[in-house]
């Protein structure tokens, strides 16, 4: 299927900037809310190929006694940036960690309803190993976490695990990934130095290079800029926009400005539920649900 971007998908920067600082004043009716609840929230993805399909997902950390995520239905399109926003504790990290089965590491966790399909494959089916899945669905964490190894060895780590031994192939993978993470020029003369000697922003880009070195399909980013200064943040944001050409990106962020600057779609969560999902432009300029409007305008959360 050819990918065609719906015309309304590109956020206009000025409209969004205005909306972020000044909430829209439109009335939101119960009828609009009911309409949204009835339809699978994918109408705005018209023409885009789905990469991740989340279907009626409920998730519990305590063997099903309480659900942290409640009946989430959400399609994430390929080669787009999808932002998850919502107040602290609403389940953004939990959901993102469901996508590469990181929550499996919590023994008492359970999917209590629904399923997740990535590239048309149910990620919980017996034939899917979590390790293989995590090669396809990479993750970049809030606190950059390079290994205490050289810059080169950090990036070569994944390819080596995949069985690449030949030096020329490893060199190529390292250079390509560091270029892809917009870090090559800054580190090309000190590849053998410890990764821990890099600045925070460089360490985060190194972690992104390490992630893309194994060529995943999806990159999950949980508040990747929250420990970075504005200059490093700008670099990572620029990088995310470039990576979108090759990867499907899901980013959790507390910064409304960041979501509006870099994402194509935005999903707003509250108390474990998906409240609203639409183009970023729609969410920030004309949200259909009052809770979304209150959140993006800073009235709660």
233 is an interface residue for ligand ATP by CB under 6 A: no
Half-sphere exposure of 170 (CA within 13 A, CB side): 18
Closest to ligand ATP by CB, 61 vs 184, is 61
In whole angstroms, the minimum distance from the beta carbon of 222 to Mg ion comes to 6
Q: Smaller CB distance to Mg ion: residue 82 or 93? A: 93
Binding to ligand ATP (CB under 6 A) within 190-229 occurs at: none
Count, residues near ligand ATP per rule CB under 6 A: 11
Q: Which of 11, 41, 77, 91 binds ligand ATP (CB under 6 A)?
A: 91
Closer residue to Mg ion (CB): 60 or 68: 68
Interface residue with ligand ATP among 40, 56, 89, 145 (CB under 6 A) is 89
- List, in sequence order, every residue forming a beta bridge with 268; answer none if it has no partner: 85, 276
Footprint on residues 71-100 left by Mg ion (CB under 5 A): 93
Residue 210 contacts which entry, ligand ATP, Mg ion, none (Cβ below 5-8 A, type-dependent)? none
Q: Report the site for ligand ATP in 98-157 (rule: CB under 6 A).
A: 106
Contact status: 90 vs ligand ATP (CB under 6 A): yes
Q: How far is the CB of 96 from ligand ATP (least distance, A)?
A: 8
Query: What's the CA dihedral at 19, 20, 26, 27 to 10 degrees?
Result: 170
The Cα–Cα gap between 15 and 11 comes to 8
Residue from 68, 70, 80, 112 in contact with ligand ATP (CB under 6 A): 68
Closest approach of Mg ion to the CB of residue 279, in Å: 23
Contact 117, 55 (CB under 8 A): yes
Q: Is 94 in the site for ligand ATP (CB under 6 A)?
A: yes
CB of 109 to ligand ATP, least distance (A): 7
Told to check if 300 binds ligand ATP by CB under 6 A, we report no
Rounded distance between C-alpha atoms, residue 143 and residue 182, angstroms: 19
- Asked if 152 contacts 192 with a C-beta cutoff of 8 angstroms, the reply is yes
Measure the CA–CA gap between 267 and 76, rounded to whole angstroms. 10
Q: Which residues make Cβ contacts (< 8 Å) with residue 243, sequence separation at least 6?
A: 180, 208, 212, 219, 249
Among 44, 77, 92, 146, binds ligand ATP (CB under 6 A): 92
Burial label for 4, CB within 10 Å (0-12, 13-18, 19+), is exposed
DSSP for 138-161 reads: EEE-SS----SSBHHHHHHHHHHH
Residue numbers of the site for ligand ATP (CB under 6 A)? 61, 68, 86, 88-94, 106
């Amino acid at each position: 299927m050819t990918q065609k971007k719906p015309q309304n998908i590109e956020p206009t920067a000025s409209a969004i900037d205005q909306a972020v600082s000044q909430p829209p004043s439109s009335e939101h009716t119960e009828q609009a809310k009911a309409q949204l609840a009835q339809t699978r929230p994918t109408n705005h993805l018209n023409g885009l190929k789905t990469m991740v399909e989340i279907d009626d997902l409920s998730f519990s950390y305590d063997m099903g006694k309480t659900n942290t995520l409640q009946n989430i239905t959400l399609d994430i399109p390929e080669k787009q940036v999808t932002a998850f926003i919502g107040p602290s504790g609403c389940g953004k990290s939990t959901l993102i960690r469901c996508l590469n089965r990181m929550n499996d590491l919590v023994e008492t966790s359970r999917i209590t309803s629904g399923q997740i399909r990535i590239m048309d494959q149910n990620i919980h089916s017996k034939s899917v190993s979590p390790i293989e899945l995590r090669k396809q669905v990479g993750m970049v964490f809030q606190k950059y976490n390079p290994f205490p190894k050289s810059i080169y060895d950090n990036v070569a780590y994944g390819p080596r695990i995949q069985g690449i031994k030949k030096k020329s192939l490893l060199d190529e993978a390292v250079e390509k990934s560091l270029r892809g993470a917009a870090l090559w020029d800054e580190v090309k003369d000190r590849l053998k130095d410890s990764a821990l000697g890099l600045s925070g922003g460089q360490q985060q880009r190194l972690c992104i290079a390490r992630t893309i070195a194994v060529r995943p399909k999806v990159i999950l980013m949980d508040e990747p800029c929250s420990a970075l200064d504005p200059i490093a943040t700008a670099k990572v944001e620029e990088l995310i926009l470039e990576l979108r050409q090759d990867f499907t990106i899901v980013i959790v962020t507390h910064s409304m400005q960041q979501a509006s600057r870099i994402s194509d779609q935005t999903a707003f969560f509250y108390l474990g539920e998906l409240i609203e999902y639409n183009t970023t432009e729609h969410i920030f300029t004309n949200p259909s649900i009052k809770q979304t409007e209150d959140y993006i305008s800073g009235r709660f959360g």
